[in-house]
Amino acid sequence: MQELMLEDLQMITESAREFAVQHIGPHVMEWDEAQYFPKELMKEAGRFGFLGVFVPEKYGGAGLGYHEYVNIIVEISKVCGSIGLSVAAHNSLCTGHILYYGSEELKSKYLPKLATGEFLGAWGLTEANTGSDAMRMKTVAERDGDFYIINGAKNWITHGISGDVAVVLARTGELLDSDGITAFVVERGTEGFKAGKKENKLGMRASETAEMIFENCRVHKSQVIGQVGKGFKQAMGILDGGRISIAALSLGIAKGAYEAAVNYSKEREQFGQPISKFQAIAFKLADMATKIQAAELLIRQAADLKNAKEKVTKISAMAKYYASEICVEIATDAVQVFGGYGYTKEYPVEKYYRDSKLCTIGEGTSEIQKLVISREVLKGDL
């Protein structure tokens, strides 16, 4: 049975690798330079089963677990971090929120479309002045009969322009009340819901990041996810899993940069021999390989806990924190291995370098991860 499971995992991994090489690889720099988000590619990802990884088969999803998910994100991110980010955000945030907390009516209505790529998902928690300090959000939803009227804006939203449906967190209670925030499903085209400014970013330039603006947006009470007032607690649960997503994204970028550096070090010759023969380069590669191995073990531990439905807060924060930090270190070292060529867009490592930094910021900065970890550690033994 275990062998069969490993064979299935390998098959899924190879499918993701083939998808990335065939459908993403030829266009990576073209999309990056143009800041073009390839929405048609996401529909293709849906046909491969990569947009409904956790969604049960009865809703049209793949019904897979976290190890399969990690491998899919890693293989895509090895080729392009931007697409890895978009696939991760669609699965773990919007789709995940509806899957884990939505009513049967909402799940039946949206999961089949999200899982197949017919709908692209967005998730709106962050605002201009409230990143991790989400309980101070200014977006409000006021009850009006059978409807809620939403006013406010969300920032830094993946698929903020192209998303067909968004999970939106809005305040329905008092400021700083953890039971005063509610999650809603809002479809694109709903009156009062529009896209705002698209961000011009350092990296991840082919993954769309934009504002979502709500001006007297009327949403029916049937679009509330779970109970009124429980949105903040739902979001914290979603972010526990989301940290595994960003850890896997980080691992994929790190592996891509590392593999490029290894291959280049064997081909590039100086002083009559490949530069991999020089201890300075060989030791750098050894450090990179060790960091990747350590990050992957943390991610696998988090995936195991998530699959077992056990508490994952501390380990997922550790995995996200460590994997994202070593991702930046490895991408930096890869540029160094390439030397002057690493600073040009003709070689892949400068893009890994630019993409890597987002991993230490998105879905909670490294500083926030250390805050989460320290709180968990101080509750008991490591």
Q: Is 118 a catalytic residue?
A: no
Q: Are 173 and 48 in contact (CB under 8 A)?
A: no
In angstroms, the CA 135 to CA 131 distance is 10
In angstroms, the CA 142 to CA 136 distance is 16
Distance, first Cα to last Cα, the chain: 33
274's enclosing H/E stretch is strand 273-274
CB count, 10 Å around CB of 354? 17
In angstroms, the CA 268 to CA 369 distance is 39
Kindly state the DSSP code that residue 357 receives in the 8-state scheme.
G
In angstroms, the CA 249 to CA 343 distance is 22
Q: Which residue is listed with tokens 């039946």?
A: 108
In angstroms, the CA 35 to CA 29 distance is 9
Distance of CA 156 to the CA centre of its chain: 13
Q: Which of 215, 363, 367, 376 is catalytic?
A: 363
**Helical segments of 229-312, H only:** 231-267, 279-307
> Which of 181, 167, 156, 89 is closest to 123 using CA atoms?
167
Residues with catalytic roles: 363
